[in-house]
Structure 1
Amino acid sequence: MSLSKKYENLKKYLSGFENIAVAFSGGVDSTFLLKVAKEVLNNNVIAVTAMSCSFPKRELNQALRFCKKEKIKHIVCESEELNIEGFSKNPVNRCYLCKTELFEKIWNVAKINAIKNIAEASNMDDNGDYRPGLKAVKEQKVLSPLREAKLTKNEIRALSKKLGLKTWNKQSFACLSSRFPYGQEITPQALSMIDAAEQFLLDLGLKQVRVRYHGNIARIETDETGIKFLTAAKIRKRIYKEFKKIGFVYVAIDILGYRTGSMNETLPPKLLR
């Protein structure tokens, strides 16, 4: 199916709803979904962003700016994942616990604003990995318009570029809790360390980056361009000095580079089917 046809199918799908609340993180996918929903439904769409210690302030600020520019009603709600029973222990269904609580809060916001539907922005690429959050999507009766339109991440980027969205080449983002190996406790201090470390690397000029937390070890994942950048001795020493200030003892560069869901590599095969 052509990309233009998928785009038209997305708009047709969205037009079938009276109104929609979009779970909006400010990332590539949710920005594109919100933009198209606004185009189709005009003022019958609102954006809802959850604020927590696993959601960097830079991402919240970008979400706020986008909604202001596009004149979209934007509601920011508190959704502190660490208060969810069992979440901080980082079980393999961590994302399910988080999404369940998140969608419950978005439904509350939707009902207060007389909105009958809520939508999230997972795409076709999310079907090929361990995504327990998709179970919550189904249970909470949340719409997934981008998957309904069979859109992949690269296709969303291409369409975003055509629409003039600055997020078309933005790095992929997942909540900071995804930086921890399953079973390792998630704490506010550790989340703050990851946030500071990633912000430092982004300020250096890296585009796609993750700092994975392994206790006193920070494992940096970045793309090929980033790996070449990190090979310079002055850069490595500068990073090490800053990461020591943040609280890490050791700093490593992952030789495989950035990849989505790298923490899932430790999971048993039966969970990945």
Structure 2
Amino acid sequence: MLTDKLTQLQTIFKQMERALIAYSGGIDSTLVAKVAYDVLGDRALGVTAVSPSLLPEELEDAKIQAATIGISHELVNTHEMDNPNYTSNPVNRCYFCKSELHDTLKPLALKRGYPYVVDGLNADDLQDYRPGIQAAKERGARSPLVEVGITKLEVRQLSQGLGLPWWDKPAQPCLSSRFPYGEEITIEKLQRVGRAEIYLRNLGYHNLRVRSQGDTARIELAPEKIKEFVATTDLDKLVAKLQELGFIYVTLDLEGYRSGKLNQEIVGKNVANTLS
């Protein structure tokens, strides 16, 4: 029962007594922050990492959501872009990102008297290739949603049941996930992709990605939205806008958006991650 899982989640925080939440503003970490605050009150702290891979709009959402919940909220700067192991974009790029995140959060937590750093990893995340899980595990972070076995769908159901207005918010991983492995990541490229996605959101499309490969932008939309997009969008204006941002070619992925699509190129290789 979903109510039983919520009770188990609450029990975890009661046992922690104090917790620092790695709070991105996404639906998963926001649910964790909500439950942590409901249980711990001012003994829970949400901390958002700010870097070029986070859309400014996502940061503003995180601030608004934290204020709505009531949880104390702070920002810290992370510097993964200074690490060539990250910017060279290897298949384990996420490991170096999460290493930087937790190497920043863990000392902060200990300094402030929080014995636990908690993230928003959910049970479904274990089914995808996510090397960052290992980095968090190595640094002692806990993942209550995984510990209870809460899936992405259940995150949304619990969020809706708790009255969180963003329960159906689309997933929004860091902008670095828009680049094929092996293509160097730069601040300029991140900003280009981010502005392109904002432009498309302003057209009314929210569950989307703009994948970047060299000078090409590949737009991914929800499959059921593709025909509407082609029929109603001023394509010449769209192309001109994305070329203004720095792309040369603008394409539409006819398969549509699918989470983790860039990982399909490494399926079958000897990569794995677990929390066991």
Give the structure-1-normalised TM-score: 0.96
SS in structure 2 at match of 1:75: strand
- 2:69 is matched with which residue? 70
Distance 1:227 1:272, change over 3 A: farther
SS in structure 2 at match of 1:232: helix
The whole-number CA distance in structure 2 between the counterparts of 1:184 and 1:61 is 29
- 1:147 is matched with which residue? 146
SS in structure 2 at match of 1:109: helix
Task: Map 1:111-190 to 2 at 5 A.
Answer: 111-190=110-189
The whole-number CA distance in structure 1 between the counterparts of 2:158 and 2:235 is 36
- 2:106 is matched with which residue? 107
Residue ranges of structure 2 left out of the alignment (5+ in a row) = none
The answer (yes or no) to whether the contact 1:28–1:167 under 8 Å persists in 2 is yes
Range 229-238 or range 184-193, more displaced = 229-238
The whole-number CA distance in structure 2 between the counterparts of 1:97 and 1:114 is 26
Amino acid of the structure 1 residue aligned with 2:52 = C
The answer (yes or no) to whether the contact 2:79–2:100 under 8 Å persists in 1 is no
The whole-number CA distance in structure 1 between the counterparts of 2:255 and 2:131 is 25
The answer (yes or no) to whether the contact 2:89–2:185 under 8 Å persists in 1 is yes
What displacement does 1:64 show? 1.2
The answer (yes or no) to whether the contact 1:49–1:74 under 8 Å persists in 2 is yes
CA deviation digits over 1:6-60, x for unaligned, max 9?
1111111221102000000111101111001101111110001000001011111
Task: Map 1:183-262 to 2 at 5 A.
Answer: 183-232=182-231, 234-262=233-261
The whole-number CA distance in structure 2 between the counterparts of 1:186 and 1:226 is 29
What displacement does 1:62 show? 1.1
Distance 1:234 1:148, change over 3 A: closer
SS in structure 2 at match of 1:47: strand
Q: Does 1:271 align with 2:270?
A: yes
Q: Which runs of 4+ in 1 moved over 6 A?
A: none
Q: How many residues align?
A: 272
CA deviation digits over 1:235-258, x for unaligned, max 9?
323321211111111111112211
The whole-number CA distance in structure 2 between the counterparts of 1:186 and 1:234 is 30
What displacement does 1:265 show? 1.1
Give the structure-2-normalised TM-score: 0.95
Residue ranges of structure 1 left out of the alignment (5+ in a row) = none
The whole-number CA distance in structure 1 between the counterparts of 2:251 and 2:165 is 31
Amino acid of the structure 1 residue aligned with 2:36 = A
SS in structure 1 at match of 2:114: coil
SS in structure 2 at match of 1:131: coil
The answer (yes or no) to whether the contact 1:197–1:211 under 8 Å persists in 2 is yes
RMSD after superposition: 1.3
CA deviation digits over 1:203-258, x for unaligned, max 9?
11102011101111101111134313321164323321211111111111112211
- 2:22 is matched with which residue? 23
What displacement does 1:71 show? 2.7
SS in structure 1 at match of 2:21: strand
The answer (yes or no) to whether the contact 1:20–1:44 under 8 Å persists in 2 is yes
The whole-number CA distance in structure 2 between the counterparts of 1:271 and 1:215 is 27
The answer (yes or no) to whether the contact 1:9–1:149 under 8 Å persists in 2 is yes
